[in-house]
A and B are shown apart, each in its own frame.
Chain A
């Protein structure tokens, strides 16, 4: 492994129940810290990932709470890379388009939030017939301090 290869895979498999969201948030918080993000950025990343997982439950599994979600985290210094895979069906990202920002009501801003926070928000079909959401963010400060 090379110097930047503290990028070992960290995997978490949960069922699609909101009660597991705190575990996801904890994983993401620690991963973002390993990558070198400051507290404010970590908070934003946690919010973005929470929105991503919530979208999986809502759109990938239509609210079912007993389905599998796999998370794969790689966070060497300077990089936060998380893949969220479901086993449902491929969800067209346009079906998850957020409501307009000027509509003042809670919820429905997940895609806006993810895109505003992360470098990459990418939806692709995965080998299980479902969707993989990839969220990537670089942290120059984290790389320089490593």
Chain B
């Protein structure tokens, strides 16, 4: 079992932009961009299709290190990404909070918080990430909202 790691705080917007630019030039040469991208980058790709593919790939690999990012994707703006993230989390961990990808945002965010707590309890070194970290470049930012 892979050791869980914290949400990669060192992954700056500039690093994401550089990686995406590199993947674009590879794609222009006929190389698949998804093979060129690290999971942490692909899971934040501006394209919902790429994010969805990255989520299923993480589930197939049994990649528990991506759980914190998958939890954030539960509140993705794209319903297909949310659906994939919900399924991947349950597939990877066996845990199910009853999350539904098509619920309203406040309900989805309650599940995000529940997942974060659950994951942090099992991975004390990870800690709980701050509520709703900045959205990656190219991904529409969620509206600010207080979740009780």
CB under 8 Å from chain A, chain B span 48-90? 48-49, 52-53, 56, 59-60, 78-80, 83-84, 87
Which of B52, B87, B102 makes the CB contact (< 8 A) with A4? B102
How far does the alpha carbon of A8 sit from the alpha carbon of B83 in the complex, in Å?
A: 12
Question: Known: A5-B102, A136-B84, A138-B52. Is A124-B79 also a contact (CB below 8 A)?
Answer: no
Q: Is the Cβ of A2 less than 8 Å from the Cβ of B104?
A: yes
- What is the total number of residues of chain A having a CB less than 8 Å from a CB of chain B? 19
Question: Known: A119-B49, A119-B53, A138-B48. Is A1-B102 also a contact (CB below 8 A)?
Answer: yes
Q: Is the Cβ of A81 less than 8 Å from the Cβ of B53?
A: no
Q: Does B35 contact A (CB under 8 A)?
A: no
Q: Does A21 contact B (CB under 8 A)?
A: no
- What is the total number of residues of chain B having a CB less than 8 Å from a CB of chain A? 19
Question: Known: A4-B102, A7-B79. Is A120-B91 also a contact (CB below 8 A)?
Answer: no
How far does the alpha carbon of A124 sit from the alpha carbon of B88 in the complex, in Å?
A: 10
Secondary structure dominating the interface of B: helix
Q: Does A122 contact B (CB under 8 A)?
A: yes
Report A118 CB to chain B, min CB distance, Å.
Answer: 10
Which of B56, B102, B103, B104 makes the CB contact (< 8 A) with A122? B56
Which residues of chain B are within 8 angstroms of A122 by Cβ–Cβ distance?
Answer: 56, 59-60
Q: Is the Cβ of A81 less than 8 Å from the Cβ of B105?
A: no
Q: Does B101 contact A (CB under 8 A)?
A: yes
Which residues of chain A are within 8 angstroms of B79 by Cβ–Cβ distance?
Answer: 4-5, 7, 74, 76, 78-79
Interface membership of chain B positions 108-138, coded 1 if the CB is closer than 8 angstroms to chain A and 0 otherwise:
0000000000000000000000000000000
Write the residues of chain A forming the contact surface with B, with a CB cutoff of 8 angstroms. 1-2, 4-5, 7-8, 74, 76, 78-79, 81, 119-120, 122, 124, 134, 136-138
Which of A4, A5, A120 makes the CB contact (< 8 A) with B84? A120
Report A54 CB to chain B, min CB distance, Å.
Answer: 22
Which residues of chain A are within 8 angstroms of B102 by Cβ–Cβ distance?
Answer: 1-2, 4-5, 7-8, 74, 76
Which of A2, A8, A74, A79 makes the CB contact (< 8 A) with B103? A2
Which of A1, A2, A81, A124 makes the CB contact (< 8 A) with B80? A81
Some 14 contacts from A to B, beta carbons below 8 A apart, are A2-B102, A7-B79, A7-B101, A76-B79, A79-B78, A79-B80, A120-B52, A120-B84, A124-B59, A134-B56, A136-B52, A136-B56, A136-B80, A138-B48
Which residues of chain B are within 8 angstroms of A74 by Cβ–Cβ distance?
Answer: 79, 83, 102
Report A2 CB to chain B, min CB distance, Å.
Answer: 5
How far does the alpha carbon of A138 sit from the alpha carbon of B101 in the complex, in Å?
A: 15
Interface membership of chain B positions 34-58, coded 1 if the CB is closer than 8 angstroms to chain A and 0 otherwise:
0000000000000011001100100
Which residues of chain B are within 8 angstroms of A8 by Cβ–Cβ distance?
Answer: 102
Q: Is the Cβ of B104 less than 8 Å from the Cβ of A1?
A: yes
Report A113 CB to chain B, min CB distance, Å.
Answer: 17
